[in-house]
Structure 1
């Protein structure tokens, strides 16, 4: 995909994200995306073969945005106390939701759709596992340094 195509794909994703946030997965059609973008049906289908593929791409896009911000915290977590690292994660999440409050609705819709679609569930599980692993590492460091109570770091990170 060349640079122009990548930019067009991002434009479609931005418009589709708005449609899915407003209507949810079930009530959003590819025709809605076509209408909102002003592009032809053929153009939309060239980039995404169906609504599910578009929704997957959106979730990947949204999660990657979240993880870019989380990665900053994870990459500096060893320089902070475990408590400070966890506070930084919560502050990062809070800032993301303040910047884009409707993203929480989209993410919740994705999680609900994942209950019905094994492919979505598998994709979400991969992202979730990555976050849990990083968080568990921070919690375990807090346990090891007696900053936190003795707990199962993985179990706590899942909650």
Structure 2
């Protein structure tokens, strides 16, 4: 790799290990084996480099989480909703640093229009991906109402559940509790109870 690629890899390593706000230019140089001058030459500033690292981390997060949900191993349960949420919670053990980076990206996006736009685009991809997974349909065949309902609500549930697991794992809901809660909500008059045939795969 050249210095540009080395810097990006080093910045991402610092992002995962130290976080966005605590990473300094010297941290990146030490992690990448480059020099301070190369940051300005290739990225203009440390902040621009860290934003690039954040964008790259968001892309990795989306790909990793999507793959984990789509190809999770059979864990012995016959309940498709429990199986789905076990996969979601399981990604915290395999991709914790990516989940944390996604949370920090949200905070930092207030100061970076480019980062905010990238996060918004990633959320749109996430809505479509979840809607396709849960309805067992190809993303290209999804209609907008399905994306805005199944996709948006699924993304909101996932974000909320993982926030609880990141901050208070002792009291965070299990897959079984989440499934029971979703079904209880579905029983409330006026709410739709079927999340889609994709859960039965």
**TM-score with structure 2 length normalisation?**
0.53
Alignment CA distance shift 1:108-1:72 (3 Å): closer
1:53, distance to aligned residue in structure 2 (A) = 2.2
Aligned to 2:63: 68
- Of 103, 108, 120, which residue of structure 2 is paired with 1:125? 120
* Aligned residue-pair number: 137
Counterpart CA distance in 1 for 2:86 and 2:117 is 25
* Residue from 148, 154, 158 that aligns with 2:155: 158
CA contact (8 A) 1:136 1:156 kept: no
The root-mean-square deviation of aligned C-alpha atoms, in Å, is: 3.4
Could you tell me whether the CA contact under 8 Å between 1:16 and 1:33 is conserved in 2? yes
Q: Is the 8 A contact 1:69 1:92 kept in 2?
A: no
8 Å CA contact 2:13–2:31 kept in 1: the answer is: no
> 20, 25, 49: which is aligned to 2:20?
25
Structure 1, unpaired ranges of 5+: 77-82, 143-150
Q: Which residues of structure 2 form unaligned runs of 5+?
A: 72-79, 138-147, 157-201
Q: Name the SS for the 2:28 alignment partner.
A: helix
- Is 1:137–1:153's contact at 8 Å kept on the other side of the alignment? no
- Within the candidate set 69, 75, 87, 1:91 is matched to 87
Q: Measure, in 2, the Cα distance between the counterparts of 1:74 and 1:37.
A: 32
Tell me the residue number matched to 1:108.
Answer: 103
Say if 2:26 and 2:36, in contact at 8 Å, map to a contact too.
Answer: yes
Aligned mates of 2:87, 2:69 — CA distance in 1: 13
1:60 shift after superposition: 2.8
2:19 and 2:31 mapped to 1: Cα distance?
15
| 1:75 to partner: Cα distance | 7.7
